[in-house]
Structure 1
Amino acid sequence: QAVYLALMIRRIILTQLGFLEVDDRDYYGNKRMELAGGLISLLFEDLFKRFNSELKKIADLTIPKPRAAQFDVVRHMRQDLISTSLIIAISSGNWVVKRFKMERKGVTQVLTRLSYISALGMMTRIASQFEKTRKVSGPRSLQPSQWGMLCPSDTPEGEACGLVKNLALMTHITVDVDEAPTARLLYNLGVEDVYMLSEIHSPLSYIVFLNGLVLGVVRDPRHLVSTLRLMRRHGYLNDFISVCTNRAHRTVYVSSDGGRFASWLLFLVFLMVVSAVSMVVLSENNTNSKNSFRRPYIIVSKGKPLVTSQHIEELKRGLRSFEDFLRAGLVEFLDVNEENDCFVALDEGNLTIDAKHINKPPKQLAKCSTIRKALNLKTTHLEIEPFTLLGVCAGLIPYPHHNQSPRNTYQCAMGKQAMGTIGYNQQQRIDTLMYLLVYPQAPLVKSRTIELINFEKLPAGQNAIIAVMSYSGYDIEDALVLNKASVDRGYGRCLVYRNQKCILKRYANQTFDKVMGPALDAETRQPIWRHKALDADGIVMPGVQVESKQILVNKACPLQTAVPSKDQAPSYQETPVSYRAPIPSTIEKVMVSSNNEESSLIKILLRQTRRPELGDKFSSRHGQKGVTGLIVPQADMPFNQDGICPDVIMNPHGYPSRMTVGKLLELMGSKAGAIEGKFHYGTAFGGDKVDDLSQVLTDHGYNYVGKDCLTSGITGESFEAYIYQGPVYYQKLKHMVVDKMHARARGPRAVLTRQPTEG
């Protein structure tokens, strides 16, 4: 500790004198993640020590006193202390560790199953401990060290902006590795023990740190670092141990602790590897979740990737797995600190430069540009794929590199609110609230990320034919005009599922709640209106439509529950469970079960089918959100020479200021794909080229940019301008006007505006 303190003081003095630069407190190499295992173990340790101390207090008070019987430890234990406290902490999200004076709120959150993407996005979320109310730009800004580890687009708006982030596609979080074997290996490789030295600082030596602690001094740091990396690539060291040097501090840092970001790089990989390798990586991501980031890269040697076309063929045929690439030393994980020691090529184009110049004689090599020489001599790794810099939500956007960056951020938030499918078991679930799209479709323009996360199997949206034109005044400010015939055929139709519970309890005096049959009308002998939906057993029938104030379960409770009942029969009071919503619902299913407390549970799943109406919110995948402004009969909609009417009309003023060129490219790609009968790709930093899409359109007799000559459905005349028309993937968001509508007769008003108070 004295040596460490001295080193820190020396570094402060050198910084003050101007020899060293001040460290960046927001640098991601210095950050560590706290994950579920570590937080629960910390809480358990605190509770276990509290449990022991309470038992010790009782024993100290009881044992010295004279007793008739022997002291029974089990009788004095608070047996439910640990489990009850853990349950309270996890259910409330409030983490209270008294020994460390740690009090945090919102540590646990309920996983929302609004859509497949919202669940996936929530599982890759990272929350900073920084205070949200403070308006400081430093911790919120995009850090260069975040490259490839955290998604640059996926962060919420508002006070949590920049503090809540999401993992990039290939990021892993390291787990703790035992320090002792690593320390022994370092001593064997020539590190001199710090306790044996008379002088730490010498011109030729570097100080070696292991997980932040001073281990010793090494005379040949380059040999030490290269040997450790070679051993890691050949499987003699753990994949997640990182080694890096800092020439300014004259130190070698070896890290084996958890909570670092790490990513993998190929010692040069080809693009074909991507789909297979990435899939393995994503599935791996759930197993090792402890504390720090890492990422895989392909290894490059002498300007050439170690992964060859033969390796890729073996990968495609299933003869190799991602683990085989790691063991063979073709791919390795790097964390943020070690990336500073590496020269990473973004794509194979940079490596082609290497291969072109590597065998040239020195005179010709000297004529090459400085950048090419640097690449030639120093390229150590290759990115597996540039699109893996983005996260799960941003990866769904087609052509995101053609959009203004805030639009991608907006889509990351709205993609989580889009209705679709939540899983193959969605018809078996009884959730509190579940939104499902009736006819979800896979997007015509997709990305490699969509394939990797299986979004096309659980989609959340529909391909709508949109026309970019002004139609009436009801499309201003991003409002959409919908085709009534499309809505009738099922465009944007959704199902809203809610559940209602009824618990039938058993009481101490042997009485219990019971379900009564429906009450009958005296004249007609039919169930009264409130009991119209009930079956003979007093529980609502599946498939029946219920209206507001109708009874779902005709429950009755005993009046006396505490006092033991005498010979007379107990008297009951009706406490029925009724349907309260203003809009009628259909009973999907009824589940009757029992729980641990000798009570029965009845769950009723209610279904509403909703079609789009004025005020419902829609959004494209480019952050272009808008509400429905008008629903027009198909006879009044414009049509092209093939008789195709658009499903949606969008105002063209939504494009210039938003600069969402990606949406225009998506329309061209979708149109070309629909004509050809194939999917096109709009993957980030790549995707199908505009020239190729234009060629497909012209080959099939369409305008090369996707414009059509439309005829007005009202006047029957052709428009004077060509209209941009084609399919675009639109998402229906959960914000529907039925849920927002609120009205009342009398009540409190705001003083300033004299309007009814909010809510």
Structure 2
Amino acid sequence: MAESCYELSLGRRDEDDKDHYANKRLKLAGDLMEDLFRVSFTRLVRDMRYQLERANMRNRELKISTAIRTDVLTERIRHALSTGNWVGGRGGVSQLLERSNYIATLSHLRRIISPLSRAQPHFEARDLHPTQWGKICPTETPEGPNCGLVKNFSQMVELSVGEDHENIKNTLFELGVIPPARSLQISAENRSRMFVNGDFIGFSTEPDTFVEAVRNKRRKGEISSQVNIAYYRDRKDIIINSDRGRARRPVIIVENGIPLLTESHIDKLRKGDMDFDGLVKAGIIEYLDAEEEENALVALNEEDLTNANGGDGYTYTHLEIDPSLILGIVAGLIPYPDHNSSPRNTMGCAMLKQSLGLPTANYKPRADTRVHLLQSPQNPIVKTRTADLISHDKRPAGQNFVVAVLSYAGYNMEDALIFNRAAINRGLGRSHFFRCYEGEERRYPGGEVDRFEIPDMEIGGVRSHEAYSQLDEDGIINSETEVAPNDVLIGKTSPPRFLEESTELLSPLERRDTSICTRSNEQGTVDSVVLMESSSSRRLSKLSVRDQKIPEVGYFFTSRHGQKRVIAIIVPPEDSQRAERA
């Protein structure tokens, strides 16, 4: 470190780029849970010591049940997971999985969130960096304060899981690494420093030969494929990384201008005789991190290799699997994104994740709080290869519309839409919205419990008799019953909040009405009613209410290219524009 500072001061090396992805590590679920458990367990040990010392001072019998409080460790972990507030003052670490549609779920599972403050500009951190190529999607990022700080993985990215660096060090010393103790035996001009995961381990006098030997061993499987190596000639440093959290991407190895992947390998992949991991083990494809890519020259297309052999002076080391793999899953669903402006692609990514369709095949038995289900989702007429790779046709979202782009009496100015009433009557854009409600018979201190029942007229806060007319004798509404806003779904009574609520000494404690009702702005039909037993052995009821949504003025529609529009007027079919063959 001191030597690097002197070199920087003397102008022999440049400043490190903190936005370079070789200098970044991603914290995964294991790392985050490790941090949380370490802090929680330290608190448990401290609490155990305190409980034992207190029992000893009071001359009490030492018992494990009193010394180890069960809630100290468990509750802290549960609280962090439920709120997302992690150790170190971080927030939003654990999140509820987005289930609005299949694409939103996949995108949420591949999201990267920067810990930087949203209130600061952080221009460099938000900008695209060249080392993001093939690892981070350049298109999919939210608009507003999170722009550039919330990112998503590209399609073929892989995260390193780490390898024991002690085994790697032993292999490196077998290849001729000179330990620091023998540094005086070699001249400073001929030696290159070597670092493994940031630790200085020695020198090499033949850096090019050494780096090539390590790469050959990795391609033959003698060294783990998690290892990446890079050589910087200007500062005479060999950097070897085997730690976890590095974003890496696969590329095809090129030797003497010829890619090692041949048609026979592709045929084996098609027939299932070989998988992608088999290509990696065979040394045909390898994963590069941002550090090793500094030593690589990757051809975009196979034609570039032919041109290089023609004498343009480039010596390619690798070949891209496909140039479109720089995009993420959501951006890969946009057809011909290279014909759009960049902001439109970004808007298209945001609105693809909001599209209605079939979010899950088992939406009926699920108890999601909110579910939007498109009545007749369709596969797009024009689709991409990414859509086939993620099986988008099995969880479709959206419909194919016939659109005319023309003026119509000013009603479609300011990005407005004019809809044909006949198309809406045929079911265009129609969907169902499901809302889940639940109620539980909870137990309170003092033996008091909640009860599912039709409340008596003497109970506090009770409604009129008609409000409970749709409930069954057990206090729960039946399925396929029409409900309006604020209608009672589950009749429930609870004990008073405070025992002092009763003013008469001889009267029994007055219960209160805590029935579960529909929201004030929602209506629909009761879709399903489930009565079960909760984890605390109490009765638990969950029911869902569905409401059909028919497009009307003010409804929002968009294409995959970020062309967002709002319905301004719905015209009769006789006034609608028609194509000749419509």
TM-score normalized with structure 1 length: 0.72
Residue in structure 1 matched with residue 213 of structure 2 by the alignment: 227
**51-60 or 609-618, which deviates more:** 51-60
Residue 124 of structure 2: SS of its match in structure 1? coil
Q: Deviations over 1:319-354 (max 9, x none)?
A: 111111111111110101111111111111112335
Q: Work out which of the residue numbers 543, 546, 561 in structure 2 matches 1:604.
A: 543
Equivalent position of 1:176 in the other structure:
162
Aligned residues: 573
The C-alpha deviation readout for 1:14-62, integer Å capped at 9, x for no partner, is 3xxx332222121111111111110110121122122223323443455
Distance 1:602 1:567 in 2: 35
Q: Secondary structure at the match of 1:197?
A: helix
Instruction: Show the counterpart of 2:461.
Output: none
Gaps (5+ residues) in structure 1?
97-101, 261-292, 358-367, 521-526, 645-759
Would you say the 8 A contact 1:585–1:607 is kept in 2?
Answer: yes
- What's 2:344 paired with? 407
- Structure 1 residues 252 and 422: alpha-carbon distance in aligned structure 2, compared to 1, 3 A threshold: same
Find the residue that maps to 1:548 and give its secondary structure: coil
Q: Distance in 1 between matches of 2:94 and 2:395?
A: 26
What does residue 23 of structure 2 align with?
30
Describe the SS at the equivalent of 1:446.
Answer: coil
Match of 1:104 in 2: 90
How far apart, in 2, do the equivalents of 1:54 and 1:426 lie? 45
Q: What is the aligned counterpart of 1:127 among 113, 116, 124?
A: 113
Partners in 1 of 2:185 and 2:425 — Cα distance?
84
**1:160, CA displacement in angstroms?**
1.1
Hey, what does 1:625 align to over in structure 2? 564
Aligned to 2:72: 81
1:618 Cα deviation (Å)? 0.5
CA RMSD of aligned residues (A): 2.4
Contact 2:455/2:492 (CA < 8 Å) preserved in 1?
A: no
Q: How far apart in 2 are the matches of 1:507 and 1:92?
A: 24
Aligned counterpart, 1:637:
576
Contact 1:506 1:598 in 2 (8 A): no
What amino acid does structure 1 have at the position aligned with 2:375?
Answer: V
Shift of 1:146: 0.9
What CA distance in whole angstroms lies between the structure 2 residues aligned with 1:619 and 1:579? 30
Match of 2:460 in 1: none
Q: Give the CA deviation at 1:627.
A: 0.5
In structure 1, C-alpha distance between the alignment counterparts of 2:95 and 2:412, rounded to whole Å = 39
Deviation per CA, 1:486-542: give whole Å up to 9, x if none: 11111111111111222222445555333335999xxxxxx9542343234321110
Q: Distance in 2 between matches of 1:426 and 1:480?
A: 31
How far, CA to CA, are the matches of 2:122 and 2:58 in structure 1?
A: 64
Instruction: Report the identity percentage.
Output: 36
3-state secondary structure, aligned to 1:492? coil
Note if contact 2:381-2:400 (Cα within 8 Å) is conserved in structure 1. yes
Alignment partners' CA distance in 2, 1:8 and 1:47: 38
Residue 250 in structure 1 maps to residue 236 in structure 2: yes
Contact 1:200 1:217 in 2 (8 A): no
Q: 1:581 aligned to 510, 516, 520, which one?
A: 520
Q: How does 1:489-568 map to 2 (within 5 A)?
A: 489-517=426-454, 529-558=466-495
Partner in structure 1 of residue 37 of structure 2 = 44
State the shift of 1:200 in Å: 7.5
Equivalent residue number for residue 312 of structure 1: 266
Judged with a 3 Å threshold, the aligned counterparts in structure 2 of structure 1 residues 24 and 572 are, in CA distance, closer, same or farther, namely closer
SS at match of 2:261: coil
* Aligned AA (1:579): T
Q: Establish whether residue 19 from structure 1 lines up as the match of residue 7 from structure 2.
A: no
2:4 maps to which residue? 8
Determine if contact 2:455/2:513 at 8 Å carries over to the other structure: no
- Sort the Cα spacing of 1:201 and 1:388 in 2 relative to 1 into closer, same or farther, 3 A: farther
Secondary structure in 1 matching 2:231: strand
1:641 CA displacement: 2.7
The residue type equivalent to 2:19 in the other structure is D
C-alpha distance in 2 between matches for 1:568 and 1:621: 66
Structure 2 contact 452–493 (Cα < 8 Å) conserved: yes
Of 298, 322, 325, which aligns to 2:252?
A: 298
SS at match of 1:7: helix
Cα deviation, 1:353-397, whole Å, max 9, x if unaligned, reads 356x4xxxxxxxxxx4xxx231xxx11111111111000111110
CA deviation map 1:96-124 (0-9, x unaligned): 2xxxxx21112222111111111111111
Q: CA deviation at 1:570?
A: 7.5
Q: Pick from 361, 364, 381 the counterpart of residue 427 of structure 1.
A: 364
- In the alignment, residue 9 of structure 1 is paired with which amino acid? C
User: What corresponds to 2:293 in structure 1?
Assistant: 339
Residues 516, 53 of structure 1: alpha-carbon distance in 2 compared, 3 angstrom cutoff:
closer
Deviation at 1:201, TM superposition (A): 6.3
Aligned: 1:488 with 2:425: yes
- 8 Å contact 2:439–2:490 — kept in the other structure? yes
- SS in structure 2 at match of 1:104: coil
Q: Distance in 2 between matches of 1:50 and 1:558?
A: 37
- The within-5 A match list for 1:314-463 is 314-354=268-308, 357=310, 368=311, 372-374=312-314, 378-463=315-400
The whole-number CA distance in structure 2 between the counterparts of 1:192 and 1:559 is: 79
Report SS of the residue matched to 1:351: helix
